[in-house]
């Protein structure tokens, strides 16, 4: 593959590209050759049951999980050489934004601005960006409160504000809706809608489509570390619109070329 | 203040202030990353350094700095690669360090367990001029790191995984934290002693937490408590002839208890203020019943859209 002459980057050069990515956690193989690409302005949801490898896939993109085979590129740069982190906002899977010492909402969100601040010195523009990020998730009035005093949904809103503080072109989110009350889910969906409206590319792990469903352009469903479905988000009725639901879809045996649909759209 | 007339007390007080600043300053990051006992481990390892200092007739302070920095780096490496067996490796490092210290000091021609005791529990009268020079230089390093890199260290200690995606050199910052903690241990060694130094890293931070809501305030209050207890402990130790390290640690715990007692009514008042503010209105939205009754008068499609908005908004 690497022997091919490098083609000129076209308009739809993928923002994230995974080719044949394999990864092990301890002795367990979690990813068995994942192919995945996310193009500029796309909103892609990674779905799958617990243990299907969707979180590991995302964590391999940000370099938290070492990859044993395959290639990952971010903005066209191999991941190992990628250093332009200010273009990427990341929301890890967390139930809390708190550490061992009290910290205010502003202090936590400001750490998301470090990728744009030289030597960790925050200037006026940086403080304004932090305020804007807090306003985006509707937490501006809680800016000076301790994160320990927040509800689960508010913690998640703080974590998303932290990712937005660097004004990223690409948002990577690991289950941003887990443990979030309905009111906060709506706020988060609205925040995301605005970001997508401004052209932000989004890759997110979801357990269920929920209130984000209208935003999602493409869904990639994983099972046992393989891509099972890559195409329009699974449309189903009522509560059965969940990815954990048995998904009848013809697909090849594990390890073979994954079924790829809808990539040309 | 006649105690200031004695050169040894001037040195002891200077060392005490520096310990009061540096120990909570690095301790807050250790507490934040939930490694509150790391200082204790480094203290054990530093004993080998003191023993080697006596054996080789080197300055025990510099030798302890060297050995505890190596020990701290080793601990950080064990944390990366050790995984399941990590805690056992750490235990061997800690107790090996302690045993090495006792062994070396007894092998040394000038050393005895009495010398070691002054390093274990602190001693004011033995703080020499060269010790003070070393303590000043090391303390300057600790202050520079903990204040100059506070945003980076905060981010790494708060959420390592996220910090990596902001492009911070996470491993280098972890190593720097470990090295700074090791340096602080040797700064505090002469005044509070190796076995009690960890208390001064952790307890002022725990006490400050009782009052503060922000990291910056916790940092400032912890350092203020640190300086207060080290100074008053040193002065008490001079007048009452009690060991300085033990006095300082007991005063720190007293400060913690006092602030905890003060914090309870303060927290109640804050909760009342928050209640008056009405909390977050987005938390509980009750769909208006008026829209339900108005359904008959608007077209069906529009009515159902209003209905969902009422629940979601």
Domain range list for chain A = 16-92+169-240
Nearest CA in chain A to B204: A101
Please tell me whether residues B186 and B74 are part of one structural domain. Answer: yes
CB A65 within 8 A of CB A56: yes
The residue from B160, B183, B198 where one domain ends is B198
DSSP three-state, residue A36: strand
Q: What is the CATH topology of the domain spanning A16-92+169-240?
A: Rossmann fold (3.40.50)
Other CB atoms closer than 10 Å to residue A170's CB: what's the count? 19
B244 inside domain = no
Nearest CA to A71 out of A100, A31, A114, A121 is that of: A31
Q: What is the mean pLDDT of each run of 10 residues along chain A (265 residues)?
A: 46 82 85 89 88 88 87 88 89 82 93 85 88 90 89 88 92 86 84 89 87 87 86 64 46 43 38
Please tell me whether residues B121 and B6 are part of one structural domain. Answer: yes
Other CB atoms closer than 10 Å to residue A241's CB: what's the count? 15
pLDDT grade for B174, boundaries at 50, 70 and 90: very high
B249 inside domain = no
The residue from B171, B198, B225 where one domain ends is B198
Across the interface, whether the CB atoms of A85 and B165 are under 8 A apart is answered yes
Across the interface, whether the CB atoms of B152 and A103 are under 8 A apart is answered no
Across the interface, whether the CB atoms of B213 and A99 are under 8 A apart is answered no
Q: Using a CB–CB cutoff of 8 Å, tell me whether B168 touches chain A.
A: yes
Nearest CA to B192 out of B234, B157, B222 is that of: B234
Say what the pLDDT of residue A115 is: 87
Please tell me whether residues B193 and B291 are part of one structural domain. Answer: no
Q: How far is residue A67's CA from residue B277's CA, in Å, rounded to a whole number?
A: 50
- Residue that wins the pLDDT comparison between A221 and B270: A221
Residues of B in contact with A109 (CB under 8 A): none
Please state the domain count of chain B: 2
pLDDT over 60 (residue B310): no
Other CB atoms closer than 10 Å to residue B116's CB: what's the count? 21
What is the complex's ipTM, to 2 decimals? 0.80
- The two tokens of residue B196 are 């009690």
Other CB atoms closer than 10 Å to residue B81's CB: what's the count? 10
Nearest CA to B118 out of B61, B62, B65, B66 is that of: B61
Say what the pLDDT of residue A236 is: 53
Please tell me whether residues B185 and B308 are part of one structural domain. Answer: no
B221 inside domain = no
> Which residues, 6 or more positions from B3, have their beta carbon under 8 angstroms from its beta carbon?
B9, B235, B238, B239
Say what the pLDDT of residue A2 is: 44
The overall average pLDDT reported for chain B is: 83
Average pLDDT rounded to a whole number, residues B233-240: 91
Q: Which of B152, B167, B170, B220 has the highest number of chain A CBs within 10 A, making it the mutation to test binding with A? A: B167
Question: Which residue has 């502003």 as its token pair?
Answer: A106
Across the interface, whether the CB atoms of A183 and B284 are under 8 A apart is answered yes
Across the interface, whether the CB atoms of B161 and A182 are under 8 A apart is answered no
Say what the pLDDT of residue A49 is: 84
Cα three-residue angle A17-A82-A175, rounded to 5 degrees: 55
B144 inside domain = yes
Judged by average pLDDT, the poorest of A28-42, B74-88, B181-195 is: B74-88
Across the interface, whether the CB atoms of B166 and A187 are under 8 A apart is answered no
CATH code of the domain in which B15 resides:
1.10.3470.10
Say what the pLDDT of residue B137 is: 93
- The two tokens of residue A9 are 């980057």
Could you say which DSSP state residue A104 is in?
Answer: B
Say what the pLDDT of residue B179 is: 94
Across the interface, whether the CB atoms of B33 and A100 are under 8 A apart is answered yes
Q: How far is residue A119's CA from residue B149's CA, in Å, rounded to a whole number?
A: 8
Nearest CA in chain B to A81: B167
Please tell me whether residues B6 and B155 are part of one structural domain. Answer: yes
Say what the pLDDT of residue A229 is: 84
Q: Which of A55, A100, A166 has the highest number of chain B CBs within 10 A, making it the mutation to test binding with B? A: A100
Domain range enclosing B287: 283-312
Out of B82-96, B238-252, B263-277, the most confident range is B238-252
Characterize A134-164 residue by residue with b for buried, 16 or more Cβ atoms within 10 angstroms of its Cβ, and e for exposed. bebbbbeebbebbbbbbbebbbbbbbbbbbb
Residues of A in contact with B157 (CB under 8 A): 99-100
The residue from B180, B198, B216 where one domain ends is B198
- The two tokens of residue B136 are 């000043």
């Amino acid at each position: 593959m690497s022997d091919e002459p490098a083609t000129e980057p076209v308009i739809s050069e993928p923002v994230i590209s995974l080719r044949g990515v394999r990864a092990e956690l301890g002795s367990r193989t979690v990813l068995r050759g994942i192919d995945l690409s996310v193009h500029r302005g796309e909103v892609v949801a990674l779905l799958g049951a617990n243990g299907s490898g969707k979180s590991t896939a995302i964590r391999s993109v940000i370099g938290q999980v070492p990859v044993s085979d395959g290639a990952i590129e971010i903005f066209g740069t191999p991941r190992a050489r990628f250093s332009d982190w200010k273009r990427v906002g990341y929301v890890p899977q967390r139930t809390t934004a708190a550490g061992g010492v009290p910290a205010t909402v502003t202090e936590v969100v400001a750490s998301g601005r470090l990728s744009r601040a030289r030597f960790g010195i925050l200037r006026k523009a940086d403080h304004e960006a932090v305020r804007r990020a807090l306003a985006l998730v509707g937490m501006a009035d809680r800016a000076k409160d301790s994160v320990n005093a927040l509800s689960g949904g508010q913690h998640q809103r703080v974590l998303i504000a932290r990712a937005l503080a660097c004004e990223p072109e690409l948002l990577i989110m690991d289950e941003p809706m887990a443990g979030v009350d309905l009111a906060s889910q709506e706020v988060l969906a609205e925040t995301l809608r605005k970001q997508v409206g401004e052209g932000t590319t989004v890759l997110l792990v979801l357990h269920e489509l929920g209130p984000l469903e209208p935003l999602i352009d493409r869904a990639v469903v994983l099972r046992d570390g393989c891509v099972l479905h890559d195409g329009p988000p699974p449309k189903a009725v009522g509560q059965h619109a969940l990815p954990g639901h048995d998904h009848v879809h013809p697909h090849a045996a594990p390890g073979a070329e994954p079924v790829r649909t809808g990539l040309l759209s | 203040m006649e105690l200031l007339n004695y050169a040894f007390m001037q040195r002891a007080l200077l060392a005490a202030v520096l310990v009061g600043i540096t120990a909570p300053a690095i301790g807050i990051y250790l507490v934040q990353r939930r490694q509150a006992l790391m200082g204790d481990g480094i203290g054990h390892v530093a004993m080998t350094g003191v023993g080697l200092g006596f054996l080789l007739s080197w300055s025990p302070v510099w030798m302890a700095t060297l050995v505890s920095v190596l020990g701290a780096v080793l601990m950080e490496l064990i944390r990366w690669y050790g995984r399941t067996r990590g805690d056992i490796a750490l235990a061997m490092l800690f107790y090996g360090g302690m045993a090495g210290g006792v062994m070396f000091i007894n092998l040394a021609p000038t050393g005895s367990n009495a010398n070691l005791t002054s390093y274990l529990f602190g001693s004011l009268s033995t703080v020499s001029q060269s010790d003070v020079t070393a303590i000043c230089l090391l303390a300057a390093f600790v202050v520079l790191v903990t204040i100059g890199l506070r945003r980076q260290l905060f981010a790494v200690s708060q959420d390592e995984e996220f910090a990596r995606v902001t492009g911070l050199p996470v491993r280098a910052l972890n190593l720097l934290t470990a090295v700074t903690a090791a340096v602080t241990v040797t700064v505090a060694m002469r005044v509070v002693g190796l076995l009690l130094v960890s208390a001064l890293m952790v307890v002022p931070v725990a006490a400050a937490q009782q009052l503060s809501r922000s990291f910056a305030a916790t940092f400032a209050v912890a350092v203020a408590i640190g300086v207060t207890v080290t100074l008053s402990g040193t002065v008490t130790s001079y007048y009452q002839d009690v060991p300085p390290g033990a006095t300082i640690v007991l005063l720190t715990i007293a400060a913690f208890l006092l602030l905890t007692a003060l914090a309870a009514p303060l927290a109640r008042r804050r909760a009342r203020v928050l209640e008056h503010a009405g909390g977050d209105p987005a938390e509980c939205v009750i769909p208006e019943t008026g829209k339900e009754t108005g359904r008959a008068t608007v077209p069906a499609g529009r009515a159902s859209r209003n209905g969902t908005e009422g629940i979601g908004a």
